[in-house]
């Protein structure tokens, strides 16, 4: 039986859209609180991770908590979770354990685009959080741990089950851009390059060659901001 063009459009909206493309000078907009809007990312993960760095830019007016980057496995839904608790606090969950970072008060605008890089190394257990190219005091977490590579990776939500279990009260209302992930800890010079919108090679997730699928009400759109030269 033939399917009408209208039916195909409705079906596509329900299932979301997937692509692999260069998203430089674009952002994902999450226009409203939701328990189904998310961006699913694919990464070539073939062995357990013993270190990583995740970088991204985000912009929101929210004062409640929300998930930014969620890496869930079937055994641990918080294998990696970057979660903003409130405007002045971030938490990193790793293997079900967590550490928190309190941010210094911002000068000037209360809310603006924020660039984050978070890294962890199993050998030392050290977690680094860079906010707008400033390193916060390092803390220790899960020394000797290995991260399962069979993952569901999501932007804009906190997974409470593998690939789902979203809570509307933990969803992002705002924008995300420039998402990258590496299977190593970036150096300070490399973090500075990423902050200034330069490419650092050999990433697992690459905003300029992103393999992704949007589900629910997520809009790919040009940004407000001008990327740093």
Residue spans of alpha helices (H) in the chain? 5-15, 188-195
Question: What is the rounded CA–CA span in Å between residue 83 and residue 228?
Answer: 25
Question: What is the rounded CA–CA span in Å between residue 219 and residue 74?
Answer: 28
pLDDT of residue 224 exceeding 60: yes
Are 7 and 14 a contacting pair, CB within 8 Å? Answer: no
Q: Which carries the bigger pLDDT value, residue 116 or residue 11? A: 116
Residue 107: predicted pLDDT: 53
pLDDT of residue 10 exceeding 60: no
Phi and psi, residue 89, nearest 5°? -150, 130
What would be the CATH architecture of the domain defined by 16-221? Sandwich (2.60)
Are 146 and 25 a contacting pair, CB within 8 Å? Answer: no
pLDDT of residue 32 exceeding 50: yes
Segment 24-47 mean pLDDT: 96
- Which H or E run includes 172? none
User: Which tokens hold the place of 126?
Assistant: 């050290």
Q: Which of 130, 192, 153 is nearest to 49 (CA)?
A: 153
Residue 193 DSSP symbol: H
pLDDT of residue 12 exceeding 50: no
pLDDT of residue 229 exceeding 50: no
Segment 169-194 mean pLDDT: 98
- In the chain, helix, strand, coil percent, each to 5? 10, 40, 50
User: Which tokens hold the place of 221?
Assistant: 């759109």
Phi and psi, residue 185, nearest 5°? -90, 120
Residue 199 DSSP symbol: -
Residue 4: predicted pLDDT: 42
User: Which tokens hold the place of 77?
Assistant: 């839904």
Q: Which of 127, 125, 12, 16 is nearest to 81 (CA)?
A: 127
pLDDT digits over 202-221, tens only? 999 999 999 999 999 999 99
Segment 108-128 mean pLDDT: 89
Predicted TM-score (pTM) above 0.85:
yes
User: Which tokens hold the place of 128?
Assistant: 């680094």
CA angle 121, 23, 187 (to 5 degrees): 25
Please report, for the chain, the start and end positions of each structural domain, with discontinuous segments joined by +. 16-221
pLDDT of residue 109 exceeding 60: no
User: Which tokens hold the place of 179?
Assistant: 């998402």
Give the whole-number percent of the chain exceeding pLDDT 90.
Answer: 83
């Amino acid at each position: 039986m033939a399917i009408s063009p209208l039916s195909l459009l409705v079906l596509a909206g329900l299932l979301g859209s997937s692509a692999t493309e260069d998203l430089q000078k674009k952002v994902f907009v999450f226009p409203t609180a939701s328990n189904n809007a998310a961006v699913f990312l694919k990464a070539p993960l073939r062995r357990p991770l013993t270190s990583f760095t995740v970088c991204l830019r985000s912009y929101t007016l929210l004062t409640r908590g929300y998930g930014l980057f969620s890496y869930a496995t079937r055994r641990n839904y918080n294998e990696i979770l970057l979660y903003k608790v409130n405007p002045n606090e971030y938490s990193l969950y790793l293997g079900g354990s967590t550490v928190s970072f309190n941010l210094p008060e911002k000068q000037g605008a209360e809310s603006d685009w924020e660039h984050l890089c978070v890294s962890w190394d199993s050998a030392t257990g050290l977690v680094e959080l860079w906010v707008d190219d400033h390193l916060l005091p390092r803390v220790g977490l899960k020394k000797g741990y290995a991260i399962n590579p069979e993952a569901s990776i999501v932007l804009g939500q906190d997974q409470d089950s593998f690939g789902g279990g979203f809570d509307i009260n933990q969803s992002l209302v705002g924008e995300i851009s420039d998402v990258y992930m590496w299977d190593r800890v970036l150096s300070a010079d490399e973090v500075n390059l990423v902050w200034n919108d330069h490419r650092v090679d050999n990433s697992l997730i690459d905003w300029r060659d992103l393999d992704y699928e949007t589900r629910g009400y997520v809009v790919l759109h040009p940004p407000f901001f001008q990327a740093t030269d």
